[in-house]
Chains A and B, each alone.
Chain A
């Protein structure tokens, strides 16, 4: 009976949402969006603070925001405060998982299967390839889709592969903790440096280069690499906490 009532309620809510959005004159139909009326047009034109340069790939130099990937420009430059909050959320989650599941002495969780020798050796080779892919995606965040967050997650998934393939493997957590702390503090310190030298928190201090080159976009590749390292070490820490238990 309760399930039926819940079903009725959700169906009613679904119809309500569809009807309200359909009747709303101001809410655009799917695909009918005019980007020029929204805030985003200035992000694409890179002229939030004025400026009238044409944005041409391979030719425009020292734009207001350097990356060729507009979404990276939004995430790491125009709205980088949100990214700082996001990094903090992951930080607190990983800290919380360690608080709940961690302890002084931990050993690997006993599982029902034992991986065989071929798996243990073969996974080491695959580990290198996945790690390289993750690093590539994190570094090229300003030119291709991706960036620090997917890159860091891929780095963590390579660590997960080693955990799954070898039932005695444990990563060096102390090093991860230092990496996490250093990367996070570096991000905040870059922002503070912007406050001291540029007058605003998280101002881009380096030169922005030519649009589309690998060495362009000022500090954004550096920030993305820091984020990638932080995310990778945090998720690896979470994986370790889940796959261990009390004991020696």
Chain B
């Protein structure tokens, strides 16, 4: 179920990237694509009835059944990289607005 939702989000992001002509909407579609991808990565590591991989006073031994911790670590990195790219994209959007006065690609005549 979760994997289907993740794939739907990825496809939504791709559809947005293919059809939208507004800079801000393109950035939003890119973010939706990345969220779907991160969700998919986490879902690859899920174990039914597994516990969160943190040793606490209740779950205190390594013989218990834990979910896979590696995809979660990968997602941590991927989220931060996505944030960096989005910040740069928005700064470029502000520069584009200062130069052309609009966010619609079709109205920016000269390239």
A-side interface residues toward B, CB under 8 Å?
2-3, 6-7, 9-11, 13-14, 17-18, 21, 30-33, 35, 38-40, 43-46, 54-58, 68-71, 74-75, 79, 82-83, 85-86, 89-90, 92-94, 96-97, 100-101, 143-145, 147, 149, 211-212, 238, 241-242
Q: Which residues on A sit within 8 Å (CB–CB) of B11?
A: 10-11, 13-14
Known contacts A58-B60, A94-B87, A238-B87, A71 near B76 by CB under 8 Å: yes
Bound Cα distance A86, B83 (Å): 11
Bound Cα distance A40, B73 (Å): 11
Bound Cα distance A203, B83 (Å): 28
Q: Which residues on B sit within 8 Å (CB–CB) of A2?
A: 19
Is B53 a contact partner of A44 (Cβ separation < 8 A)?
A: yes
Is A74 a contact partner of B54 (Cβ separation < 8 A)?
A: no
22 CB contacts below 8 A, A to B, read: A3-B19, A10-B11, A30-B2, A31-B47, A32-B48, A33-B44, A35-B66, A38-B68, A40-B70, A44-B62, A46-B62, A57-B56, A69-B54, A70-B54, A71-B53, A82-B77, A86-B81, A93-B88, A97-B87, A101-B95, A147-B76, A242-B94
- Give the residue among A2, A13, A14 with the most B Cβ atoms within 10 A: A14
Is A241 a contact partner of B66 (Cβ separation < 8 A)?
A: no
Q: Which residues on B sit within 8 Å (CB–CB) of A145?
A: 52, 54
In the complex, B109 has a CB within 8 A of chain A: no
Is A33 a contact partner of B87 (Cβ separation < 8 A)?
A: no
Q: Which residues on A sit within 8 Å (CB–CB) of B61?
A: 54-57
Apart from A14-B11, A35-B47, A57-B56: 17 A-B pairs, beta carbons within 8 A:
A6-B15, A13-B14, A18-B7, A21-B3, A31-B47, A35-B65, A45-B62, A83-B77, A85-B77, A89-B81, A93-B88, A96-B88, A96-B91, A97-B87, A100-B91, A242-B90, A242-B94
